[in-house]
Structure 1
Amino acid sequence: MSLAAPSPRRRSRAAVVGAALLIATAVATTGGSAVATDTDGAGAGDRGTTREAAALTGSAKLYRSLGDDITFTFDAHLAAKDNGDPTKATGTFRFSHYLNGDGASADATVDCLLTGGKVAVVSGVITKSGLPGAEGLRVGVTVHDVGGKDRLGYSWASAGNPVEQPQLPKCVSSAPFEKVKAGTGDFKVLPWEPEF
């Protein structure tokens, strides 16, 4: 990576910090966080009950013409009581990449979840991995939930693997440019509905 690369990164970080400040200001001026109700049955639990503020669940394999086995699995949630703070999300996600028996997997603990419509961005810190140097690094993943044609992106797309990327702020990833292998995707995104 060249020395000129930090300039776009600084702009990205500034945009993330700016968005976080806007969220914090909106929550402060509305007197706290709102609790969403499940009126359309889209959330967890029974109809008409309080639902979680956001969620990303499911598993899928990515399409690769060479036959790589690349799998992502998510169980990420933002509780209703934490609707005003996506960095209070909890859960885990796992990803793996193998080809001809070579590769690695990683488990991450969620530290941020943002969803909007059918798109989710989740970040987490790697707690266990077969990739040397990956443990302790934050990674981000983006999912576009479009039924059987889900898409996915990840923060290390331009770097090659998580160890070669710079340390990330929370809830940062790439556009969902990857295609899910036909018949494997069951991602579910519960949209976040903050009140500003």
Structure 2
Amino acid sequence: MSPKHHRTTTRVAVLGAVALLLLTGGAAASTATAVDSPRPAREVALTGTAMIDRPKGDEITFTFDAHLPAADRTDPGKARGTIRFSHYIEEAHWGGAGEAKVDCLMTGGRVATVSAVVTKADGDLKDTVGKRVGLTVDDRGRQDGFGYSWSMVGLPSSLPDDMPKCVSGAPFEKTRPGSGTFHVSAMDQRPWK
């Protein structure tokens, strides 16, 4: 092999190695960027069905289907969905069921606060129609924490007519084991981040 041919072969090999390094390095950088880039934002949500843990004969069930699109995460008042509820006290022959339209949803970690205006109700709960109620869920897994805005006044019908959105009580009650579970899908909702 002539010296000239050897130099040409060496240059080609070196240039090929440099090109390979650049290509694989670029691919690695490209992969790193794809991995490091934020995942598409999911919605804020509170979903699921469970009963509140009360003595037998005092049966309270809530079903949440509340959602806030990722694009609206800094405006919790754009939340939409439905809350269904029922409360029956066997010994007192008291009870009723109803539905409320979601108008606010805020989350922080595994805790969600939602408010909704009652659109229909029957039985002893029919006087809650038109009232805004607030509920808080602490998604703990098997036995979730639960709170509500009427805890200090007794019944939702005793809430003020000008109850603000997303106002509720601390989760001082728990869900009944085995009755279902609530699920909080959280997202950073801070408008100043």
Category of TM-score, reference length = shorter chain: 0.7 to 0.9
Who is 2:182 aligned against?
Answer: 187
Who is 2:13 aligned against?
Answer: none
TM value normalised by structure 1: 0.72
Confirm whether residue 70 of structure 1 aligns to residue 60 of structure 2.
yes
Distance in 1 (CA, whole Å) between partners of 2:167 and 2:121 is 20
Distance in 2 (CA, whole Å) between partners of 1:146 and 1:65 is 21
Who is 1:57 aligned against?
Answer: 47
Distance in 2 (CA, whole Å) between partners of 1:185 and 1:146 is 12
Distance in 1 (CA, whole Å) between partners of 2:172 and 2:145 is 6
Asked if the contact 1:95–1:105 (Cα under 8 Å) also holds between the matched residues in 2, the reply is: yes
Amino acid at match of 1:183: G
1:81-113 per-residue CA deviation (whole Å, 9 max, x = no partner) reads 112200000001111110225301120000000
Asked if the contact 2:96–2:126 (Cα under 8 Å) also holds between the matched residues in 1, the reply is: no
Who is 2:15 aligned against?
Answer: none
Distance in 1 (CA, whole Å) between partners of 2:152 and 2:51 is 20
Asked if the contact 1:147–1:185 (Cα under 8 Å) also holds between the matched residues in 2, the reply is: no
Instruction: Report the CA distance between 1:49 and its aligned residue.
Output: 3.9
| 1:157-168 to 2 correspondences below 5 Å | 157-167=151-161, 168=163
Confirm whether residue 85 of structure 1 aligns to residue 75 of structure 2.
yes
Amino acid at match of 2:128: A
Distance in 1 (CA, whole Å) between partners of 2:186 and 2:40 is 16
Who is 1:176 aligned against?
Answer: 171
Structure 1 outlier segments of 4+, above 3 Å: none
Distance in 2 (CA, whole Å) between partners of 1:109 and 1:126 is 6
Within the candidate set 140, 144, 157, 1:146 is matched to 140
SS at match of 1:87: helix
Asked if the contact 1:71–1:97 (Cα under 8 Å) also holds between the matched residues in 2, the reply is: yes
Asked if the contact 1:56–1:76 (Cα under 8 Å) also holds between the matched residues in 2, the reply is: yes
SS at match of 1:133: helix
Asked if the contact 2:175–2:181 (Cα under 8 Å) also holds between the matched residues in 1, the reply is: no
SS at match of 1:163: helix
List alignment gaps of at least 5 residues for structure 2. 1-34
Instruction: Report the CA distance between 1:66 and its aligned residue.
Output: 4.0
Who is 1:117 aligned against?
Answer: 109
Identity of paired residues, percent? 53
Q: Residues 49, 192 of structure 1: CA spacing in aligned structure 2 closer, same or farther, 3 A cutoff?
A: closer
TM value normalised by structure 2: 0.73
Which structure's residues are more often helix, by fraction?
2
Across the aligned residues of Structure 1 and Structure 2, the Cα RMSD in angstroms comes to 1.8
Asked if the contact 1:114–1:192 (Cα under 8 Å) also holds between the matched residues in 2, the reply is: no
